[in-house]
Every structure is written in C-alpha cells, then in structure tokens.
Amino acid sequence: MSITEALVAELGRDAVLTDSDVTAGYARDMMPLADSGSPAVVVFPSSVEQVQAVVRICAASGVPIVPRGAGSGLSGAANAIDGCVMLVLTRFTEIESIDVDNRTAVVQPGVVNLDLRTEVEKNGLFYPPDPSSYDWCTVGGNLSTNAGGLCCVKYGVTTDSVLGLEVVLADGTLLRTGRNTVKGVAGYDLTKLFIGSEGTLGVITKATLALRPLPQAPCTFVAGFPSPAAAGEAVTKAVRAGAVPSLLEIMDAASIKASEQYLNTDIGAAECAALLLAQSDSGGEAAMRELSVLEGIAKDCGASMIYSTDDLEEGRMLLQARRVVLLALETYGSWLTDDVCVPRTRISELITECERISAEVGLRVAVVGHAGDGNMHPTIVYDADSEGELERAQRAFDEILGVGLSLGGTITGEHGVGKIKRDWLAREIGPAGLRVHRQIKQALDPGNLFNPGSMFALRD
C-alpha cells in the first residue's frame, strides 16, 4: 500500500489532496524570500487520532511532515519541502470549553484568533494576543511562532497566555504538558519548549489558554514628532515613568504617508517624521490619567501634534492607520517585512539605520512596530518584475537583521526563524546554543520527521 493509500484509508478521500495544481496552494506562507518545495500530499485531519495516524504512517515510510495553519506566517516556517506531507490543521476549529470562573479556555489549533477573542468576550473575558493577521491567523500558528501583536506591551506574547498543550510526538504518542492551575512547577516547562518551536518538535492539537477579564473600552492617544529620535526618547521616558498602556505603537514617515493615502484620510501627521499611537484600557478617568502622562512626556520631547480621545470609534479609526500599513504598502509594489526586536532605548537608532539602508539600496523602507516592547517591523517595498530589485530587497533585509543584533537585539520578535533566518539564528545563539537546539531536536524527533530544515539544520 502506498503512503497516499494509507492516508486515504485513515482520513478519507476528501481529506487527502494529491493534485499538484491544488497542493501548490499549500506549499508556502507569505514570506517571498523563503525556499519552498512541492508537497507530495496535503492532508486535513479532523481528530487527534487522525493526526497520530498520519504521523505513524509518515514515520514508517520516512516521509517528512510539515505542520501548517492558515499560512499567514512571515518566515517560511510552514513552507513545504519536496515530497513532504503537509499536515493542515484548519479543520481543528472547536473551542472545546470556556471556564468563566477559572478564566481558561481549551481550544483546538485551527481556531481563528479573532473568533476566539469574540467568543470569550461574550463571557466577559479577554484573550490578549492579537497579531496583525488576527482576523484569519489561527491559534496553532500563533503557538508555533509565539506570536505577539499590538497588545504585547501590557499583556505579553502568546506564551504568556498558555497554561498547557496537547502534542503529538514523532512516534505518534500523545503528550500533555502544563497544567490547569495558575501556578505549577512540576518538572521542566515543556509547554514553553513547544511554543515557538515552529512545528519542528511535534504537532500541537490542543491548548489550554489563560484568559483575562474583559478590559474597559480604550482611550486613544496619538502624538507626532519631528524626528524618530524624539519619538524614541518619548518611549524611553514613558517606560521610565512606569506607564503601561495597553498598546504603544510607532510609525515612521513612510508608514504614515502610506496609511493616509490608503485610507484617504488625514490623521494630522503628514508633516511628522514619526508617530506614537497609544491606548489605555484602564477605563474612564483612569485611562485618561494614564494618557495624560504620555501627553506630558510627548510635550517634553517636542511633539508637534498631540491628541487624545475617549471616543471609541475615533480611536478605532486612528488604530486602523497602524493596522493597514502592510496593505497600504502593497499599493507601491511587493513587500518584504522584517521582524527585529531591540531594546526600547535603541528604537530610534534602528529607524535611522533603516533610513540609511533605504537610501543605499534605492528602495522604500517603512518602519512600524510595537514601541512598547521594541519589536520593529521594517518593511521593504520592491518591484518583483524589475531586474535586481528582489536581490536589493534581500540585501536590505539582511542588513536590517545585522543592525538589530548590533543594537543588542534579536533577529525575530514574533515572526519566527523559519527557513529565512537559519544562518542568522546560528549567528545570534552561537555554537553552544545551536548544539543544545540540535540535541533537543534529536531527543524528541530522532528521525527528523517534523519540518526538517526549518530553524536550523541538524548538522553543519
């Protein structure tokens, strides 16, 4: 019996795709520079038992497995390799339970982030992680890359909202990690080991998530600055003052211009070199007091435009200018978004260096990011049909990573390593770190079954 026949026998014909014209649509994520191959088979299991069966069939045949969610990734972590089985988890869409009293939810990996947020809000609860693609990315993908989003400054990234996991291992057995309690230190923290592992150690089939009380409607603050340095100084002073807004974002001049043109609106920042956008969900007067601290700091740092509002719709409009940046940049051409995280005191230096790189390569580089935690997303715009522009975009991408490391940062804050930053991971963590990574991979996946070649190679 062939591997395809064995998969059909376990999952059914409708859950197994082999037509190359169809399977090609599952071969890669949204990162244009990452290598991808051609999958032999794409499967859509709908139960844990089916995932276990797929893993055992592939392990027996020596066929690699690449787990995949919605394909919204930006590192090539879910890209196919030639002849692999793509294990797509989008049929795992059940929110199995919401425990209001203990503020937890048990969910499957195919649940869309926004759907989960919407459902728990009906119970007066809140699931904080909110990647920019939250209206279509899935929880499983968020777990695999330890995704963050705009609310990280106050609520942390995905791992900060996870209590436990259910994971199918390379021999098909089911591992349950973590706990249902708020506290627990029984053994190694295997939950955090799998979060951010990009499908290289196992297949996540369930997660127990920690929820929070639903915040108050947010108040919104925006300030425009004459230079990135002034905006960066404001971020530093806000942190020093102990301000913890629920959101603190930064946009450079190129991002501001693109968003205003895309939305056909004027947010009053056209003449600004950098924009800070903040929200506080502390509620009512408390929120406005929190934002008044930011107002004072902005004035001290030379802001040329300052505005605060408690109008929910107006706040959404201002926040929309940040959320649509990538869509706005598409009007100029293809885009390649980077993901570096630097100390918050070095944000302005990163933006300045991106301006230098933009001038050197002759391509537009727009910078937006989560100023509250230093995670920046410089985005390079290029013409995919113009000879040499993709190569220049690649050069800019790599130079930005180098700048991030030189400023004491990391090559990825939330998008992951995938297949696009393997060499950079080795550079960041060094030989000892790489050796430990390989030892962990060897211990959990000795046959190199799961997503081989992603993050790092098993040997040099």
Distances (CA, A) of 374 to 150, 302, 306, 324, 409: 11, 21, 22, 20, 9
The residue type found at 437 is H
Structure confidence at residue 266 (pLDDT): 80
Residues 6+ apart with CB under 8 A from 168: 48, 51, 52, 55, 174, 175, 202, 203, 205
Residue with tokens 């046959």: 447
Instruction: Tell me which fold the domain 95-213 belongs to.
Output: 3.30.465
Contact 355, 365 (CB under 8 A): yes
Q: How far is it, in rounded angstroms, from Cα 288 to Cα 280?
A: 8
Residue with tokens 């009380």: 213
Question: Which CATH code for domain 216-326?
Answer: 3.30.70.2190
Q: How far is it, in rounded angstroms, from Cα 382 to Cα 5?
A: 44
Structure confidence at residue 287 (pLDDT): 84
Question: Which CATH code for domain 3-88?
Answer: 3.30.43.10
Q: How far is it, in rounded angstroms, from Cα 352 to Cα 367?
A: 10
pLDDT greater than 70 at residue 247: yes
- Per-domain boundaries in the chain: 3-88, 95-213, 216-326, 332-448
3-state secondary structure of 444: helix
Question: What's the whole-number average pLDDT of the chain?
Answer: 93
Q: How far is it, in rounded angstroms, from Cα 348 to Cα 226?
A: 12
Mind listing the pLDDT tens digit for each residue in 7-64?
Answer: 999 999 999 999 999 999 999 998 888 889 999 999 999 999 999 999 999 999 999 9
Mind listing the pLDDT tens digit for each residue in 188-215?
Answer: 999 999 999 999 999 999 999 999 999 9
For residues 405-426, average pLDDT: 94
Token pair in block for residue 64: 């690699």
Spacing of C-alpha 41 from chain mean position: 27
* CATH architecture, domain defined by 332-448: 2-Layer Sandwich (3.30)
Structure confidence at residue 285 (pLDDT): 82
Contact 147, 129 (CB under 8 A): yes
Are the folds of 3-88 and 216-326 the same?
no
Contact 352, 376 (CB under 8 A): no
Contact 273, 286 (CB under 8 A): no
pLDDT greater than 70 at residue 270: no
